Amino acid sequence: MSNVIIVGAQWGDEGKGKVVDIYTEYADAVIRYQGGNNAGHTVIVKNEQFVLHLIPSGILHDGKTCIIGNGVVIDPKVLLEEIDALKERGYMKDDTRFVISDRAHLIMPYHKKIDIARELIRGEAKIGTTGRGIGPCYEDKCTRSGIRIAEFVDKELFAEKLKANIDMKNRYLTEFLGGSPCNFDEIYSEYSAYADRIRGYVANSSLLIEEFMDEGKSILFEGAQGSMLDVDHGTYPFVTSSNTVAGGSCSGTGIGPTKMDEVIGITKAYTTRVGSGPFPTELDCDMGESLRKNGGEFGATTGRPRRCGWFDTVLVKDAARTNGLTGIALTKLDVLTGIDKIKICTSYKLDGKTLKAVPANLRQLERVELVYEELDGWKEDITHIREFGDLPENAQRYVERIEELVGVEIVMVSVGQKRDENIVIKNPFA
């Protein structure tokens, strides 16, 4: 039995979907513990692409139980569309193997309206949200006015809470944000139909996970976004609205930290970021455009082009500390093939002093001087390689140098998009 947490070690989009899909082979259950449908995990199975926004990537394996934990915020319309799409493609044949926490919070139409309206008001100072209502939903959770799944599937209680919320939100939408109000009858009718379809999946997921552990089953805890988007430890305020670091797996599932065995951080062989916010190693040049083109760097959720840059050791060392990483899965090494000289950012300097971490003050972060180390690249195709020692010598040295600088063992290297295009050095479930 092993309980393994998967986290993003950069700004998200590191390839967690693929890594979770690979590790699911060794797990009995996969649990998503935070975020909402602002995340998008892309998996390619038998040349067929799947983009999952709420349901754990493990759903693509037969016989695995997939759970949406209490830390996730759920748009029921999106969830049902995802379920229907998977069923149409021959997946999710056994409904008993999919569970939704009764304590997860519900994203409502007013959350999305507020999200979009506030971004418009911010103008050039916008955060760069996806407009899917994630932040406003988490706000309601913290102000104790949110609607949880347990209440959603109780028709009378749902009507009571929805009415109170709409009365309050409409005043905010119309009088402050200058938007249009929400209609109670329309929303209640539409969402009650969603509740009827979701009701059979709802359970106390914390209790279920504990039962699995007592039976000696292995659990994979799947995070969304990345460590530098954590609401506490990321580049605030250009972050998401939940705790994306490994600690979020405990609060987001109702399972204590003493039950966890391994924490695997996923990081690309370079760095990307979607949306606004600081990005020290960003390449606003032909090299950045080449990484974007060769890596297919467009958001799985929004389609927005990702900003690209060199690997940032300072960033990933922060993630290693805040997550307690026991291993790193390095993805998209193949994208660097053909580059003559590859750079790694080894440290930041500010006013002549070397910084030990990413500064919380974003104005300071904008002023840091980057210290780079340059390594020779390789030209050989590596997508067919399955043993680390068979990689070109320069590719091996690049991976080893990242491991040395970050101080965390690299346990997997992804050398292509497909499910089997990987070098597995160490299995955290073994």
The confidence score (pLDDT) of residue 303 equals 76
Q: 106 forms bridges with which residues in the sheet?
A: 74
CATH superfamily assigned to domain 105-198 = Adenylosuccinate Synthetase, subunit A, domain 2 (1.10.300.10)
Secondary structure of 174-241 as H, E, C letters: HHHCCCCCCCHHHHHHHHHHHHHHHHHHEECHHHHHHHHHHCCCCEEEECCCCHHHCCCCCCCCCCCC
CA distance 129 to 36: 12
Torsion of CA 304, 309, 314, 317, to 10 degrees: 60
Local confidence band at 275 (pLDDT 50, 70, 90 cut-offs): confident
pLDDT at residue 58 in the model = 83
pTM for this entry = 0.93
pLDDT digits (tens, 9 = 90+) for 310-354: 999 999 999 999 999 999 999 999 999 999 999 999 999 999 999
For 426, phi then psi, to 5°, come to: -150, 135
The pLDDT confidence band at residue 300, using thresholds 50, 70 and 90, is: low
Catalytic site residue from 13, 75, 140, 312? 13
On whether the 3-100+202-262 domain is CATH 3.30.413.10, my answer is no
Which of 201-205, 207-211, 299-303, 357-361 has the lowest average pLDDT?
299-303
Could you tell me which residues are beta bridge partners of residue 263? 5
Reported as a single tens digit per residue, the pLDDT across 367-396 is 999 999 999 999 999 999 999 999 999 999
pLDDT at 48 over 80: no
Residue 45, pLDDT > 80, answer no
**Intra-chain end-to-end CA distance of the chain, in Å:** 9
For all residues of the chain together, what is the average pLDDT? Answer: 94
Q: What is the rounded CA–CA span in Å between residue 60 and residue 390?
A: 30
CA–CA–CA angle 216, 41, 283 (5° rounding):
130
For Cα atoms 290, 388, 273, give the angle at the middle one, nearest 5 degrees: 35
For β-strands 369-376 and 311-312, DSSP reports them as unpaired
Query: In the predicted model, is pLDDT for residue 106 greater than 90?
Result: yes
Domain range annotation of the chain: 3-100+202-262, 105-198, 267-424
Q: Which listed residue (21, 41, 53, 140) is catalytic?
A: 41
* pLDDT at residue number 301: 62
CA 137, CA 131: separation in Å to the nearest integer?
12
Tokens 């002023």 — which residue?
367
**38-52, 63-77, 107-121, 370-384: range with lowest mean pLDDT:** 38-52
CATH number corresponding to 267-424:
3.90.170.10
Please write the tens of the pLDDT for every residue from 12-28: 999 988 898 899 999 99
- Structure tokens, 265: 């951080």
Q: Is the pLDDT of residue 76 over 80?
A: yes
The vertex-346 CA angle with 343 and 351, nearest 5°, equals: 120
233 has catalytic annotation: no
